[in-house]
Amino acid sequence: MKNRRIRYDMLALGVLAVSGIAAVLAAAGVALGQGLAGAASGLCALLFVVPGLYFLGYSRRLRSRDLALAHAAAFAAAQEAIRIQDLAAELHVTREDAERILRTAVAEGRVRGRFEGTDRFVADRVEPQAREEAR
């Protein structure tokens, strides 16, 4: 997931750089008395800034997702068993969101364990040596 976030960061940076260059060309066109060229460059700058901001926002959402998954996995792995409601309180989200986040962390292999009933998660115990080898 980290590579995907980096790709979106780089894409946002590139698109916003093109938008900035178009804005500079628009200002230069207006300063040189080329109104039509300045308007065209200004329009290009505007057209590039919208997707650039979208890519930047998406990258930030991916970063937030990664942080939430890592935090949930660490919280679950630090204890033998947790209640989903305790995780929800730790993450400051609803119980349903906490369960979804924890299920995603399990599916992505960030934490190993099993759900018992509707409100309990039991993490698999990993020996310290095995944990170091997994890294």
Per-residue pLDDT reduced to its tens digit, 103-120: 999 999 999 999 998 889
Per-residue pLDDT reduced to its tens digit, 8-25: 999 999 999 999 999 999
Please check the confidence at residue 128 and state whether its pLDDT lies above 50: no
Number of structural domains (the chain) is 1
* Strand-by-strand arrangement of the 120-123 sheet: 81-83, 120-123, 113-115
Mean pLDDT on 71-77: 91
Domain span at 8: 2-134
Residues written for the chain: 135
Domain of 99: which CATH number?
1.10.10.10
Please tell me the pTM assigned to this model.
Answer: 0.72
Per-residue pLDDT reduced to its tens digit, 42-68: 999 999 999 999 999 999 999 999 999
123 beta partners: 113
The per-residue pLDDT for 3 is 85
